[in-house]
Amino acid sequence: MRGKEIKNLRIVPFSVNHVNDAVRIEQVSFPTPWSYDAFISELKLRNTKALVALLSAEEGERVAGYILGRFAADEMEITNLAVHPELRRRGIARALLWHLVERVRSRGIKKIFLEVRENNKPAIRLYEKFGFKKVGIRRGYYVDTGEDALVMRLETE
């Protein structure tokens, strides 16, 4: 069953002010989470495009999820996408992915790549709905679990 769509959501550029929240989401989302320093390093790169989803509530805004990607020439690799577990299946990852694809498409990005754990069926379904196709497998890519990664590609033209 799909969760309730979230309407009070804003997608904005990811800034250093969002890093602590992103680290907390990382820690509850991944076996080997990115560190504070990893996010800071990524945000300093000129070829990084990063967005956060901010959820408005009575107590203020909170980071609900984020997406980061690196581009070179006319290609981009999505390096990280996560949504807080309590807020999944409500369209947040879809909104983040849509905003990133639209923003980089206007910059002339023609192909977007990503790796996803082969057992992460919800993420794979989301990527396939966007038109990503499986183009390869990286055996043992995730050293924390030994899982293979599916390599997926989206042609933006």
Amino acid 4: pLDDT = 54
Following CA atoms 24, 30, 32, 38 in sequence, which dihedral angle do they give, to the nearest 10 degrees?
-50
pLDDT tens readout for residues 83-95: 999 999 889 999 9
Amino acid 1: pLDDT = 31
Which segments in the chain show pLDDT lower than 50? 1-3
Question: Which residue in 58, 102, 127, 147 is the catalytic one?
Answer: 127
Q: How far is Cα 78 from Cα 103, in angstroms, rounded to an integer?
A: 13
Q: How far is Cα 48 from Cα 14, in angstroms, rounded to an integer?
A: 10
36-44 vs 19-29: helix crossing angle, rounded to 10: 120
Question: Which residue in 26, 42, 66, 115 is the catalytic one?
Answer: 115
pTM above 0.85, yes or no: yes
Query: CA Rg, the chain, in Å?
Result: 15
Domains and CATH numbers, the chain: 9-110 (3.40.630.30)
For this structure, is 127 an active site residue? Answer: yes
Amino acid 144: pLDDT = 85
